[in-house]
Structure 1
Amino acid sequence: MINFQWPWLLAVMPLPLLLRWWLPPKPQAEQAALIVPFLDDLPSRVPRYVVNVQTWPWRLAVMAWICLVVAATRPQWLGEPLELAVSGRDLMLAVDVSGSMEEKDFVINDKRYDRLTATKYVVSDFVQRRVGDRIGLVLFGTRAYLHVPLTFDRKTVETLLNEAFIGITEDDPQTSIGDAIGLAVKRLENEKSESRVLILLTDGANTAGELTPLKAAEIAARHHLKIYTVGIGADEMLVRSLFGTRRVNPSADLDEKTLQAIANTTGGRYFRARNTEELEQIYSLLDQLEPVEKDKQFFRPRTDLFYWPLAAAACLVAGLVWLRLRTA
């Protein structure tokens, strides 16, 4: 349907007519007159083409004025109502991009990939499912920084997550878990959301930063920030060398005790992801622990139409100018 955003502007439609009535008439200049002695012999009717020449400028002017007034009311086309799910939740993702995330111990479609690539693969789908949440992204290595501020634009979050790479924060392969939590708290403390959640994914221990993870968790708890921690990395991996094949634990540096304590302090949970399937199950479980939809809102998309009557008015004015020049 068509809607006029400012319909009260239609009240100015008769303004030119009122001005014609109220303003005094323009004095006519004295002109020479031609006395025709045989006036009665002239035809009493004016030819049709003469009448058209005299009336068409007025018609064009009236139509141009009507189009301008209609354009000023800002006509819009209202589309069908669309349903929006709004959760009222601020969801922050903190992803480890330190050097240890280069370890290729995850398999996707029968191919081996590094931990960061596997994280992108799973978290991207998770982000797209979070309809109604405001989502932000923190990347941390030696330093922690806000990569994406809180936004409803899930596509942007997914794109910038996929553009992240190992060492994007610093070349030094250390991990600042405490600073990542502290940054999330700082970004969320002034938000008036009903629920604040941080999902922190790492494959190591806190080796850098000014804030210890447990102290950061206490601050997060005081600000009602719930933290779900995810420890990523396989427990066992076959490594070939000159002396043959041996089994190693690529997750030996993972500090599960601290990650568990962070989750317990803030009322969250700790998860262990040893492969891609477990990582997908964790994020599916997070969908259940933090349901997406709370209530529904509707909005109708609007498409502006004012440029059509505005363009018509411009064409009519151009035609009026052309007539003036032609009859001049």
Structure 2
Amino acid sequence: MTDLSSPLWLLLLLAVVAVVVLYVWVQRRRRSRALRFANLDVLDSVTSSGPNRWRHAPLALLLVGLILLTIALAGPQADRKVPRNRATVMLVIDVSRSMNATDVAPSRIEAAQSAGKKFASELTNGINLGLISFAGYAVTLVSPTPDHRATYDAIDKLRLDDRTATGEGIFAAIQQIQTLNSALGGDKSAPPARIVLLSDGKETVPDDPNDPRGGFTAARKAKELHIPVSTISFGTATGTVQLEGQSIPVPVDDDSLHQIANLSGGDFYTASSLGELTKVYDTLQKQIGYETRRGDNSRPWLIAGTLLVLLGAAGAIVINQRLP
């Protein structure tokens, strides 16, 4: 939707209307005088069969150009996406042993590393990015920093471990965001923050996600602090891992991750391949890395108006052998 910052400039359109009225009046007056004083027999013998039907086109182009230039003066506004220069993102990745499943080639964890590195390398400059891994407990690998290379390099250091403590991962991310906010002058002046959580399985520590350290409790805390958690459920329902010579089913758990996203005010995504995961990260990168701002949109009107005015002037010279 486009609105105008200085609509009073549209009053100049009255001048365009006045030019149209004046042009019509001059044309009629010229024709009237020609008929009044000319010898019609002589006039018929020296004039062509009829007037050039394109003779009014240059003025029409000129008038439309003036209308567009007037709209440009009125300051049309429009929404546009611009890169954020302030935001905090904590990337939280599940490193439980179920991430070693190969239902996603070459494995869930290797695909997650590949997509995560691409996300870190393409995230808009100026955004503070951090990395946390979690299995039975959470480990902060990179505190939020505008140096995205630190997260890119740390992703290669992810190591698998036992159990899944999703809540601990979220709480650790919240703590990192709050620490940065304090350094920046407090929550009121802090940039917007987002947690991006990638996991494949149901939380195992604690047993109840509503436990004080559970995933649902952590999600509610994030909601209270206005930190949405965007969750990515990564894997398939047929995933398995080999433990002590046995094939153990590790189906992806969409329900709990969907609930975490809902409780925190974030978005929920699913991915069952590296390509799908990359698309999810691309979507998040656009959401996080850019913001919509209302701003000046007069340039297209100026360009179109100027071109039409120039075409009108050129047409007047070519068709009418004079400027309108």
Alignment check: 8 A CA contact 1:89 1:133 kept: yes
Give yes or no for the alignment of 1:284 onto 2:282: yes
More helix by share: 2
Q: CA 1:234–1:152 in structure 2 vs 1: closer, same or farther (change >3 Å)? A: same
Counterpart of 1:266, as a letter, is S
More strand by share: 1
**Which whole-Å CA distance do the structure 2 matches of 1:271 and 1:123 have between them?**
15
- Determine which of 149, 156, 179 is the counterpart of 1:155: 149
Alignment check: 8 A CA contact 1:98 1:142 kept: yes
**Which whole-Å CA distance do the structure 2 matches of 1:238 and 1:166 have between them?**
15
- Determine which of 94, 99, 102 is the counterpart of 1:101: 99
Alignment check: 8 A CA contact 1:236 1:249 kept: no
Render the CA deviation track for 1:240-275: whole Å, top value 9, x for unaligned.
xxxxxxxx99552x3322211111122211111111
- SS of the aligned residue for 2:289 comes to coil
**Which whole-Å CA distance do the structure 1 matches of 2:157 and 2:292 have between them?**
31
Alignment check: 8 A CA contact 2:102 2:240 kept: no
- Determine which of 264, 268, 271 is the counterpart of 1:270: 268
Q: CA 1:158–1:225 in structure 2 vs 1: closer, same or farther (change >3 Å)? A: same
Aligned to 2:116: 123
Q: Show structure 2 runs of 5+ residues with no match.
A: 1-82, 182-188, 207-211, 242-246, 294-324
| TM-score normalised to structure 2 length | 0.55
Aligned pairs for 1:153-192 within 5 A: 153-167=147-161, 173-190=162-179, 191=181, 192=189
**Which whole-Å CA distance do the structure 2 matches of 1:257 and 1:293 have between them?**
30
Alignment check: 8 A CA contact 1:138 1:148 kept: yes
Aligned to 2:192: 195
- Determine which of 218, 221, 224 is the counterpart of 2:220: 218
Alignment check: 8 A CA contact 1:91 1:134 kept: yes
Render the CA deviation track for 1:115-149: whole Å, top value 9, x for unaligned.
11100111101111112210000110011121110
Shift of 1:238: 9.6
**Which whole-Å CA distance do the structure 2 matches of 1:291 and 1:148 have between them?**
19
Alignment check: 8 A CA contact 2:101 2:239 kept: no
- Determine which of 221, 228, 231 is the counterpart of 2:233: 231
**Which whole-Å CA distance do the structure 1 matches of 2:240 and 2:109 have between them?**
20
Counterpart of 2:222, as a letter, is A
Counterpart of 1:226, as a letter, is P
Shift of 1:293: 6.6
| TM-score normalised to structure 1 length | 0.55
Counterpart of 2:93, as a letter, is V
Aligned to 1:312: none
Q: CA 1:218–1:232 in structure 2 vs 1: closer, same or farther (change >3 Å)? A: same
Instruction: Give the RMSD, CA atoms, in angstroms.
Output: 2.6
Shift of 1:194: 2.3
Shift of 1:288: 2.6
Shift of 1:103: 0.8
Aligned pairs for 1:1-328 within 5 A: 86-107=84-105, 113-131=106-124, 132-167=126-161, 173-190=162-179, 191=181, 192-209=189-206, 211-236=213-238, 250-252=249-251, 254-292=252-290
Aligned to 1:39: none
**Which whole-Å CA distance do the structure 2 matches of 1:198 and 1:281 have between them?**
18
